Amino acid sequence: MILGTAILLGGCDTLSSLNPFDRPEVYKPEVVEVVPADKLYNEGLARAQNGDSEGAAKKFDQIDKQSPFSPYAKKGLILTAYTNYQAAKWEEAITASKRFIAQNPASPDAAYAQYIMAMSYFNQIPDATRDQERTERAIAALQELIEKYPRSEYVLDAKEKLLIARDQLAGKEMNVGRFYLEKRNYTGAVNRFRDVITKYQTTRHVEEALMRLTEAYMALGITNEAQTAAAVLGHNFPDSPWYKDAYVLLESGGLQPREDRGSYISRAFNGFSRVVTGIVGFGKI
């Protein structure tokens, strides 16, 4: 009995030694100073005005973490998104923007938060040879801005950026289509060029896409579609060098451009209006 009690007590001593709360030299809780929200807000503004966007973002973010119910929390959150954007911290800007919209859907600044989010995706758009997931997200965010906030001051710029992003997706389809043409995978090429003329008609790639459809359909022996592609190209873009190439290609096979009204190519251009004649460079807020 004495031996058993000794073992039990010994076990208690061992467990006690493992408890860090009984050993102050081991357990040293970190004391985080709680800075008043108004002070953090003013410090954030000061840093932003001095060009330290990253430092400002940290101050504004600290308001949300320490004083989420303070009068400065909502202002701090939209400024967290803005200053992260200015610091090219795209993911942080997107996260803060989404949080602001979720918490303040009826706020007058919700449209601005949506714009920051869309532009953060937009500024991550890669070149047309790479994966276009970010481009697709930018398009979705821009479309949401246009649809949810049609009277917003940011809509005009959003529409311009949307055209640029869609042009990028069309460029990706063109790259893949050209690759298939080079490999003589004409069916695969047709599928890509068809997407360009049906989904991205207002982009600068549509003229070449019609010429490439003429080329691919000629190679497949589907002459009525080749003639239709060339005819639609000539009707909508009579001065295009791509039309001249398509015309020469048809002539080499003893054919002329002739539109088949039942073709998907013809139907895709019913009521078509060329509203964009150029693509400008990427911009910033």
CB 54 within 8 A of CB 89: yes
User: Among 202, 212, 182, 193, which Cα is nearest to 271's?
Assistant: 202
Residue 49 lies in a domain: no
User: How confident is the prediction along the chain (285 residues), in pLDDT tens digits per residue?
Assistant: 444 444 444 455 555 555 555 555 555 666 567 788 888 999 999 999 999 999 999 999 999 898 889 999 999 999 999 999 999 999 999 999 999 999 999 999 999 999 999 999 999 998 888 889 999 999 999 999 999 999 999 999 999 999 999 999 999 999 999 999 999 999 999 999 999 999 998 899 999 999 999 999 999 999 999 999 999 999 999 999 999 999 999 999 999 999 999 999 999 988 554 433 333 333 335
Residue 244 lies in a domain: yes
72 and 106 Cβ atoms separated by less than 8 Å: no
Q: Looking at the domain assignment, is residue 69 inside a domain?
A: no
* Global pTM value: 0.77
DSSP tag of 183: T
Q: Is residue 127 part of a domain?
A: no
Cα(186)–Cα(160) distance, integer angstroms: 33
Does some domain include residue 255? yes
In angstroms, the CA 57 to CA 3 distance is 64
Task: Classify residue 110: in a domain, yes or no.
Answer: no
Total domains present in the chain: 1
Domain CATH code at residue 206: 1.25.40.10
Domain assignment of residue 276, yes or no: no
The answer to whether 132 and 126 have CB atoms below 8 angstroms apart is yes
In three-state secondary structure terms, 99 is helix
In a domain, 91, yes or no: no
The Cβ of residue 133 has, within 10 Å, a number of other Cβ atoms equal to 11
**Full residue range of the structural domain in which residue 258 is found:** 173-268
